[in-house]
């Protein structure tokens, strides 16, 4: 444990934590690609899980998701809107990766 503590760099920890979730522009192109690919996988997993919970195929167009739900079912509406947002985010991430 003492050897591990000797290699610990508090400055590096601060630098890494300050970049967490922000300043993607300051990353090198290779690091930016890795970051965006990771974000794309995370968004894809969220889409898969939410689609499974809602019983819809997220690969279909949003028109096929069964929007005709009771207006009282606010949780389903919220989840469907979140799914649509995630699909748009996935497309934006993919377009950004394609442009790199």
pLDDT in tens for each of the 100 residues of the chain?
Answer: 444 555 555 555 555 555 555 677 788 888 888 888 999 999 999 988 888 888 777 776 665 556 555 556 778 778 888 888 998 999 999 999 998 8
**What pLDDT, on a 0 to 100 scale, did the predictor assign at position 80?**
80
What is the reported pTM?
A: 0.66
**What pLDDT, on a 0 to 100 scale, did the predictor assign at position 2?**
46
**What pLDDT, on a 0 to 100 scale, did the predictor assign at position 79?**
82
* Structural domain spans, the chain: 35-62+71-100
| 46 within 8 A of 78, measured Cβ to Cβ | no
């Amino acid at each position: 444990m003492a050897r591990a503590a000797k290699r610990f760099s508090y400055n590096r920890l601060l630098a890494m934590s300050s970049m967490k979730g922000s300043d993607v522009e300051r990353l090198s192109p290779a690091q930016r690609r890795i970051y965006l690919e990771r974000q794309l996988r995370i968004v894809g997993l969220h889409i898969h899980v939410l689609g499974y919970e809602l019983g819809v195929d997220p690969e279909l167009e949003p028109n096929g998701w069964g929007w005709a739900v009771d207006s009282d079912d606010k949780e389903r509406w919220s989840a469907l809107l979140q799914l649509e947002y995630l699909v748009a985010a996935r497309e934006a991430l993919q377009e950004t990766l394609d442009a790199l």
